[in-house]
Structure 1
Amino acid sequence: MEFSRFNVDTLMQITNRPSLVFTEGRGMWLTDHRGKRYLDYLQGWAVNCLGHSPQCIVDAATEQVKKLINPSPAFYNAPSIELATLLTDNSCFDRVFFANSGAEANEGAIKLARKYGKVNKNAAGENRYEIITFNHGFHGRTLATMSASGKAGWDTMFAPQVPGFPKAELNDIASVEKLITDKTVAVMLEPVQGESGVIPATREFMQALRTLTRERKLLLIVDEVQAGMGRTGELFAYQLSGIEPDIMTLGKGIGGGVPLAALLAKQEVSLFEAGEQGGTYNGNPLTTAIGAAILKELLKPGFLQSVKDQGAYLRQQLLQLSEKHGLDGERGEGLLRALKLGRDIGPKIVEIARDLEPAGLLLNSPRPDLLRFMPALNVTKEEIDQMISMLSGVIAQIDKV
């Protein structure tokens, strides 16, 4: 099947895509329009937490689509209640709002924090609205979440930005403290900065941040769109530090490939009134039935321990690869990891790996000197070994030039 038969010009140009069309996926593997297979270490940017087309999603979608797809968010539906209950029973939160994307969930978290600052004013009786975020952080592509993000160049891309997001430095508690004013209502961060190159917040920093925010009567918001849903080996990344945030956002893995996200909050923070938050598709039975099926898989005995085990194995293999090729090591949590290349060869590796024959390898280079790995949480050691072997060959090929 020739690529030319696909009229790709009908799609808006938002990114540079290679000349291939994926038609099928199973587990860690994708197949394109020519029948070529690819070992997929992107998994939709950590979306497919159980790999491509897992049976639990097939079963949940098939069963639910026959019953009810969308009665409107003006009414309760059983799957959304089931998923909300599973989430609150297994976290420190009390209330859940379902959304369609991580950016939408983060937008909701920003709104909720501002509502909290409106109800809990400062000493002068003024609304508190500023949310301290972090340089190199990523929270989404809406105007507010781009403003909250600390990605280089985003401050001018669609200027003017939404005000109220001063930037601190990850793992530097003093940088946070000096930004606190009488307008500050919250601190928002990713427990693992994904897009900036898989940079974890330390346990000590997270604990100090929780202490500081409590002392200053500020909310602590964790954006776990990428790091949540078992990705770090804990169900939620905040659990790595033994703290309890006030608000958490989830996306990507919670839907396993379908558009689903969530905003979770403690009871005392859940201050939305009727009409202040909503969305046509939020909490629809089809996506939340799939979300519930995924969460039940993650909660099965031994599953999260297997994520920790495979994460440790991937770390070991990346370190050995780094030593073999004279690279700069690796970092990460669980099955969200990065290989530090020490030179700007990431995009070249991605291109060569994708074009390998007879099977390709799909990798991500969020920075030119780094590769990011986001495999399915049920990846096998054999699939890790296969990736390492393929990647080693690619690096050797580049080194020969």
Structure 2
Amino acid sequence: MSVHDTFTQYVLPTYGRFPLVPEKAQGSWLWDNQGKKYLDFCTGIAVCSIGHCHPRLVEAIKAQASTLMHCSNLYEIPQQAELAKTIVDDFVKIPGKVFFSNSGAEANEGLIKLARKFGNARPAPDGSARHEVITFRNSFHGRTMGTLTATGQDAIQEGFAPILPGVNYATYNDLDSVKAQITDKTAAILLEPIQGEGGIFSATADFLRGLQALCIDHDLLLMFDEVQAGFGRLGHDMAWRAIAPEIQPDAISWAKGMGGGFPIGAFWVSDREIAPQLTLSSQLGPRTHGSTYGGNPLACAASLAVLREIKEAELNKNVIEREQQVRDTLNTWNHPAISEVRGKGLMLGIALNADSINTAEGVTPALALVLKLTELGLLTVPAGAEVVRWLPPLNVSAEEVDTALSLMRTALDSLTS
């Protein structure tokens, strides 16, 4: 039985899978089971942040797996403590505490729970708990019931009604629309510094500053979803610092690239005082939250290897240089199929002029381009109907970027001829 037939018979059809069977990978490259080699600018959708099978990550996993893979969070796991310290001291650089999960959706569930705990600790003027969270249209926060409710996309929520109460949707980069959603029940604002699945739209600095001011004025939490954009993806330790470095968030979620391919998620909560002798991070104490696997020794050892490589190899610098290389090259093309290049760092969205792309019936321009690029040997991923995402490893080389650009030009020319 072929891999395709086995999938069809035994695996739920929750993904629209491409006809590619991966077999091995190294660095920025992936090989399928037919021996074809691909330059990987998808990387598991921003997951393999230091490339496939990086020696430092592989050795960290081997060493930890040979000693202790899992133990209960009822004990003090040293790798978890060290990873939390690294995240707070070397990346966030604001006093706070970290909870470890297994995925981005779980991390965002934690932020939603934090907002509700905060709204209970600091209730509305009538004494009732504040429980509402403002999120944004075209956002993506996950597929659990809580996070698909927070996700401002009808397509994600379709078929799961009734969704959970307590989420109001504003328009991204529109401060007035946020003000209109604030009520006596509002406890927090949750947003991606760059909307990933929604089309690679970046928040403006003025918008983030305006949100911070609203949170101060209305006693709200400012929470960032950096699941796709965090830990160097934008060329900065934290994604929001690539846009407005002076912002002081209350909570941040992560996953994807922090494990380099090993499943791990996390969220950070500020130590700031929310009342005399009461900190925000103290709101999630014993019996308020938990995870059986979150923060296990193996996952933490893997993440420590990844984060230390990002720091010690100064990958932020490479990210900024490679972004400039991409933008400079695309600007010289003035290609009729490209309308703009969105995003920052190595979270880039190449927006297409739909009328310039020749597509088959029922195939979006972005999907047509992704399929053509796959045929040519470059793996990418759509972000909506008219945007193709580039999410290469943070240590991708200039030569590899040149190769990707050459393949992109060939694909665009083919689809617009």
Same fold by TM (over 0.5)?
yes
Matched residue, 1:80: 80
Whether 1:227 and 2:239 are equivalent positions in the alignment is no
TM-score after normalising by structure 1: 0.95
| 3-state SS of paired residue (1:324) | coil
CA distance in 2, matches of 1:17, 1:326: 25
Q: Cα–Cα, structure 1 residues 3 and 272, in superposed 2: closer, same or farther, change >3 Å?
A: same
Pick aligned residue for 2:373 from 332, 344, 353: 353
**Partner amino acid for 1:280?**
T
The alpha-carbon distance between structure 1 residues 257 and 301, as it changes in their structure 2 partners (threshold 3 A), is: closer
Q: CA deviation at 1:368?
A: 2.0
Distance 1:28 1:18, change over 3 A: same
Provide the C-alpha distance between the structure 2 equivalents of 1:146 and 1:93, rounded to a whole number of angstroms: 30
1:293 corresponds to which residue? 305
CA distance, structure 1, for counterparts of residue 4 and residue 323 of structure 2:
41
Can you give the 5+ residue segments of structure 1 that lack an aligned partner in the other structure?
none
Amino acid at match of 1:386: T
Cα distance 1:5–1:197, how it changes in 2: closer, same or farther (>3 A)?
Answer: closer
TM alignment of 1:301-340, pairs within 5 A? 302-321=314-333, 323-340=334-351
Opposite residue 258 of structure 1, the aligned amino acid is F
Paired letter, 2:45: W
Contact 1:318 1:329 in 2 (8 A): no
Contact 2:102 2:294 in 1 (8 A): yes
Decide whether the 8 Å contact of 1:319 with 1:330 is kept in 2: no
Give 3-state SS (helix, strand or coil) of 1:34's partner: coil
Counterpart for residue 40 of structure 2: 40
Alignment partners' CA distance in 2, 1:275 and 1:300: 37
Within 5 Å, which residues of 2 pair with 1:2-401?
3=2, 7-8=6-7, 9-90=9-90, 91=92, 92-240=94-242, 241=244, 242-267=246-271, 268-270=279-281, 271-300=283-312, 302-321=314-333, 323-343=334-354, 344-356=364-376, 360-400=377-417
Task: Tell me how far apart the structure 1 counterparts of residues 366 and 158 of structure 2 sit (CA, whole Å).
Answer: 26
Q: Which residue of 1 aligns with 2:361?
A: none
Q: Report the more deviating stretch, 151-160 or 234-243.
A: 151-160
CA distance in 2, matches of 1:144, 1:102: 12
- Deviation of residue 317 (structure 1)? 2.3
Structure 1 window deviating more from structure 2 (331-340 vs 18-27): it is 18-27
- Asked if structure 2 preserves the Cα contact closer than 8 Å seen for 1:3 and 1:19, the reply is no
Mapped to 2, the partners of 1:302 and 1:361 lie a distance apart of: 26
Q: Counterpart amino acid of 1:28?
A: S
Post-superposition offset of 1:18: 2.7
Opposite residue 371 of structure 2, the aligned amino acid is: E
Q: Structure 1 residue 93: deviation in Å? A: 4.1
2:406, 2:230 → 1: CA distance?
29
Greater mean alpha carbon deviation, residues 311-320 or residues 365-374:
311-320
State the 4+ residue runs in structure 1 displaced beyond 3 angstroms. 2-6
Q: How many Å apart are 1:5 and its aligned residue? A: 8.5
Secondary structure of 1:390 counterpart? helix
For 1:89, the aligned partner's letter is D
Distance 1:75 1:312 in 2: 46
Secondary structure of 2:161 counterpart:
coil
| One-letter amino acid of the structure 2 residue matched with residue 299 of structure 1 | K
Q: Aligned equivalents of 2:375 and 2:239: distance in 1? A: 34
The answer as to whether partners of 1:3 and 1:21 remain within 8 angstroms in 2 is no
8 Å Cα contact 1:318/1:339 also seen in 2: no
SS class of match (1:104): helix
State the alpha-carbon separation in 2 of the partners of residues 128 and 315 from structure 1: 44
State the identity %. Answer: 36
Letter of the 1:373 counterpart: W
RMSD: 1.5
Cα contact 2:337–2:416 (8 A) shared by 1 = no
Whether the aligned pair in 1 keeps the contact of 2:145 and 2:163 (CA below 8 Å) is yes
Deviations 1:295-324 (A, max 9, x none): 111112632122111122122223334x13
Deviation at 1:59, TM superposition (A): 1.0
Segments of 5+ residues of structure 2 without an aligned counterpart are 272-278, 355-363
CA distance in 1, matches of 2:119, 2:330: 45
Distance in 2 of aligned mates of 1:317 and 1:284: 43
